[in-house]
Every structure is written in structure tokens, then in C-alpha cells.
Chains A and B, each alone.
Chain A
Amino acid sequence: MGTEARPRQSRFYQIWEKVAAVAIIILAAGGFLFLLNYTSPIKWDYIIEKFPSFLSPAALTLMITVGSYGVGMAIGFSLGMLRTAKFRPVRILATGWVEAIRGTPLFVQILLLFALFSYYNPGDLALPTRLLVTGFLAMMINTGAYQAEIFRAGLQSVAAGQVEAARAVGLGYWGTMRSVVFPQAFRVVIPPLTNEFILMLKASALLSMINVKELTYFAKIETFTGNLVEVYMIVTVLYLIMTVPLAKIIAHLERRYRIPGLGMQQETRARQTRSSQSVTVRIAGLDLSQVRRGLPGRERTFI
């Protein structure tokens, strides 16, 4: 995961890198806004006036995602366990289900469920509720299958020796799972689960196509009076507000609760690189510590 060790840069270089990154982002955003402005001036007062009205559909987007993702997690965890089951028919069934869901577009799944519920309306739900339930179920089923894969990979990432050691100190199957396998798999599974949540939050925009009144649908209705650019700028910003801080918070928690030798290893690697830097051996100008790692080696010097 893009966390290669690299030689420590000078303080000046580190600051320069950050300044450059921020400058590029500002320039790009500015350029983009300039282009939009070029065709028709952006109505900033419209944006300021309308922004609050987008908050409640954004909240619905968040609620649908959190709900379907949460239930999907229970499904995913169970399916993931079943996919590692010893009993073959169970494994085949679970695998088949996961493959079927992963092999078809979420949009098609939404439409299929929409069609099903149009013919058969369990509990005689009113139309808006029915659409909401349809969307919720489609997303739940979809994320369930993807999360199953994440949990399966996490469970299988626990080394066989760890399980053997747990058995050897007298733990049974569930004791081993609870005390050793789950805690270790948990740390492996957090980054891909975060990623899946963000993907689902964005995918919830598809529900606008079956008239669930979430953020994108609300925006679509708003554009009937024009102001397309302004409306979708608001929507873009709102999606970013929901996704970016979450990713940052999770990454922070990961660093904070990291256990040496498990999961993300950034800092440990950085430390190793630093110490090897101090004992850098240079033969004919080649930095051996970097040659061994096969890295480009920005600080490599030649005599």
C-alpha cells in the first residue's frame, strides 16, 4: 500500500513538499472554477442561499449508507466466516453468492430489486417508503458481498502458527477465534472496510435513479430551475465533507492503536530507514542500503 520506506528528507524539503502540494491543489481548483466561470458566471449568492437546504438530503444519504453498511457488515462477517468453512457445500454456496453479487453492477441490482418490489409490494408500503426500502436492501446486499471478501481475506491473513499456538495453550475453536484470530484480523480489515464505506456512500448516488430522495436526487430536482453548475458544486462539496474527514479520522485511529509488527507499518519502517541511513555504507558512491532495497534513493550520492 504505497508506504515504501524512503530516505528522510531535510526539514526544508519536507516543508517545501507540503507548500508545493497545497499550491498545486489551489491552482487546480482555481483553474477549474475559472473555466466554469468562463461560460456563465457562478452565482455565489445562490450557492450560499441554497446550501442549507441540501443538508437534510445529505443526512439521508449518510443514514442510508450507515444503515445498509452496518447490516451489510453482519452479513459480510457471516459470509466471510462461511467462505472459510470446512464443510464444502457451505463454502461453495457462500462463494457462489458472493461471486454473483460482485459480478453484477450495483445499478442493475438496484433496478432488479426495484422491478421486483413494483410487482410484489410486501406490507403494502407507501411509494416513497417502498423506494427507500428497495434502495436500502440493494445496497445492503451489495456491500454484504464485498465485505464478505474483506473479512475472508482478513481471517485468512492470520498466520497458521498463531492458530496452532492458541490451540497448544488449550484454547478451543471459539476461544482461538475470540482471543487470537479476530483481534489480529480486525486490524487488517480496518483500511479496506473504510474504503468500502466510502465507496458505498458514493454509490448511494445511484439511488437517485429510483427516486430515493437522497442528495443526488435532490440536486437533480433542483436543477430543473437551472443553476446546474452551482447545484453540483454544492453536491460535490457535501460528498467531500462526508468522505474526507472520515478517512482521516480512521487513519489517525489506526496509527494511534497500532501494535508493532501488526497491520500498518509506516512508522516502524521509517525508523528502520533512518537508522540504516546513519550506518550507510558507500562503495564507489553507491549507497548499499538503498541498492539492497531497490529504491530509487533520492539522496544517493556519486563520487
Chain B
Amino acid sequence: MAKGDVLVVAGPSGSGKSTLLRCINLLISPDSGDIYLDGVKVNAPNIRPEWVRQQVGMVFQQFNLFAHLTALNNVTLGLRRALKMSRPEAEKKGRELLTRVGLGHKADAYPAELSGGQQQRVAIARAVAMDPKVVLFDEPTSALDPEFIKEVLDTITQLARDGMTMIVVSHEMSFARNVASRVVFMDDGVVLEEGTPEQVLVHPTHERTKTFVDKILE
């Protein structure tokens, strides 16, 4: 992947998309194959996984915001505890990011007081706060009520336009078509097809991809 690329990963459930993301930030160690970040092999014994995770943001399907912390503290926890940034500095950055995702006024709200869409936007701010080299999105909209999907996709799209490198597991095909620089189709742990959104989504060559895309577009 090149800097600024947006890779969308699609495929039926159980095809290994989430596992792939969790391997990339070493929440799971890969059985085989290697992961390179900036040319450094990161699944190596001499690399601290924390060091890798500080450079790889992650946004979860179920948001996973820290339930005991306000939106602002959710964003700043990593800055303060992992990057040892001072509190005023971290909070300044946190507020900027919350404003960027349109939630500057919700800085002091707890996750339970936010809608699903708002929670996911805070989660995006939390991932971006660490100035990661790449952000991983694990089906960021599939746990959301339909009314909140757009605000989250818009936030991700804006982030992509700003030049953030990202890998997005998603079934939002219009999003993939508009934002992705490349699309990967996975099934059963294997990449079946890879190319531009046009190639994979409009003119798929593989039978499995065709049926999947047809079903999703129905």
C-alpha cells in the first residue's frame, strides 16, 4: 500500500477480513506471512506490539469507546498514557479532533449519552489522534442504525480526502466506489480479487465475486 491509499476490503462474513485487520496491528499474531509498516517487518520478536499499535489506528465495529471516560478523555487516553503527552497539550489536540468530526460540543459527554453515529465518530477521532501511519476500519457502519450510517461514512470520506492512509472493511459499495483507490475481495481467508473499484465491483472476473456483488447491489 502506498501512502494516502484507501483500500476497501469486502467479502462474505467469516472470510477473514477482521482477522486480517487484527493481524496488521498485532492484536492477533499471523500464522504465516509478514506485515511491513514503512518497510519494517513488524511481526518480529524484536518489535514491541505497542510500538506498532501506536502507529496503526483502529476503529471497531462495536465502537468500543471506553465506557468510563468522556468523549474527550477517550480521544486523549492514548496520547497521554502511550505517547506521554502532557494533559493540556493532549486536550488541545483532542478538542481539535472532536471538532473535526463535528462533536466539539460533546467533549464532556460519556459514550452512553451519545448516539451510535456519534460514538463511532469519537472512535474515529480517537484513532486519528495518535497520528497513525494507517487507520484500520473494521466494518465501521454495520452496527449502526441506518440513519447514522451517512454521518460516519462522510467522516471517513473526509479523512480520506485529507490524505489519510486507510484500510476499510466495508460492504458499503457506494462508499467503496467513491473513496477507494483499490478494492480487495476476500473469501475463506484468501484474496480472490484485487483492483480498482471499477475492476472489482463493476467487472469482476471471479465467479464468487460476481455473486457477492450482485447480492449486495440487489
- Using CB atoms and an 8 Å cutoff, list the residues of chain A in contact with chain B: 159, 161-162, 164-172, 175, 179-180, 183-184, 187, 259-262, 268
Q: Which of B27, B62, B112, B113 contacts A168 (CB 8 A)?
A: B27
Verify A169–B130 contact, CB threshold 8 A.
yes
Residues of B17-51 contacting chain A, CB below 8 A: 25, 27, 49-51
Residues of chain B within 8 A (CB-CB) of A159 are 64, 67
Verify A179–B77 contact, CB threshold 8 A.
yes
A24→B95 CA distance, assembly (Å): 55
Query: Assuming A259-B110, A260-B112, A261-B112, is B53 touching A169 (CB within 8 A)?
Result: yes
Q: Which of B54, B58, B67 contacts A162 (CB 8 A)?
A: B67
Interface centre among B25, B50, B83 (most CB of A within 10 A): B50
Verify B68–A166 contact, CB threshold 8 A.
no
Verify B53–A180 contact, CB threshold 8 A.
no
Apart from A167-B50, A169-B130, list 11 A-B contacts with CB within 8 A.
A161-B60, A161-B64, A165-B65, A167-B27, A167-B53, A169-B54, A171-B81, A179-B77, A260-B112, A261-B110, A261-B111
Interface centre among A166, A170, A268 (most CB of B within 10 A): A170
A169→B60 CA distance, assembly (Å): 12
Residues of chain A within 8 A (CB-CB) of B77 are 166, 169, 171, 179-180
Q: Name which residue of chain A comes closest to B25, CB basis.
A: A168
A179→B60 CA distance, assembly (Å): 19
A183→B53 CA distance, assembly (Å): 22
Verify B27–A184 contact, CB threshold 8 A.
no
Verify A162–B78 contact, CB threshold 8 A.
no
Verify A171–B66 contact, CB threshold 8 A.
no
A247→B127 CA distance, assembly (Å): 41
Residues of chain A within 8 A (CB-CB) of B82 are 169-171, 175
Q: Name which residue of chain A comes closest to B48, CB basis.
A: A172
Residues of chain A within 8 A (CB-CB) of B51 are 170
Interface centre among B25, B65, B77 (most CB of A within 10 A): B77
Q: B126 on the interface (CB 8 Å rule)? A: yes
Q: Name which residue of chain B comes closest to A178, CB basis.
A: B81
Verify A169–B126 contact, CB threshold 8 A.
yes
Verify A165–B27 contact, CB threshold 8 A.
no
Residues of chain B within 8 A (CB-CB) of A161 are 60, 62, 64
Query: Assuming A170-B83, A171-B82, A260-B110, is B64 touching A164 (CB within 8 A)?
Result: yes
Residues of chain B within 8 A (CB-CB) of A167 are 27, 49-50, 53
Contact with A along B167-186 (1 / 0, CB 8 A): 00000000000000000000
Verify B66–A164 contact, CB threshold 8 A.
no
Q: Which of B57, B67, B81 contacts A184 (CB 8 A)?
A: B67
A162→B53 CA distance, assembly (Å): 15
Q: Name which residue of chain B comes closest to A161, CB basis.
A: B64
A262→B68 CA distance, assembly (Å): 7
A28→B73 CA distance, assembly (Å): 52
A51→B127 CA distance, assembly (Å): 64
Verify A171–B78 contact, CB threshold 8 A.
yes
Residues of chain B within 8 A (CB-CB) of A170 are 50-51, 53-54, 78, 82-83, 130
A171→B96 CA distance, assembly (Å): 22
A-B contact pairs, 13 of them (CB 8 A): A161-B60, A162-B64, A165-B64, A165-B66, A166-B66, A167-B49, A170-B53, A171-B50, A171-B77, A187-B68, A260-B113, A261-B111, A261-B113
Query: Assuming A169-B82, A170-B50, A179-B81, is B67 touching A259 (CB within 8 A)?
Result: yes
Residues of chain A within 8 A (CB-CB) of B53 are 167-170
Q: Name which residue of chain B comes closest to A185, CB basis.
A: B68
Residues of chain A within 8 A (CB-CB) of B64 are 159, 161-162, 164-165
A10→B78 CA distance, assembly (Å): 48
Residues of chain B within 8 A (CB-CB) of A184 are 66-68
Query: Assuming A164-B27, A164-B60, A260-B113, is B67 touching A169 (CB within 8 A)?
Result: no
- What distance in Å separates the Cβ of A97 from its nearest Cβ neighbour in chain B? 31
Interface centre among A161, A164, A168, A183 (most CB of B within 10 A): A168
- What distance in Å separates the Cβ of A232 from its nearest Cβ neighbour in chain B? 45
A187→B56 CA distance, assembly (Å): 31
A262→B111 CA distance, assembly (Å): 10
Q: Name which residue of chain A comes closest to B51, CB basis.
A: A170
A125→B57 CA distance, assembly (Å): 61
Residues of chain B within 8 A (CB-CB) of A187 are 68
- What distance in Å separates the Cβ of B47 from its nearest Cβ neighbour in chain A? 13
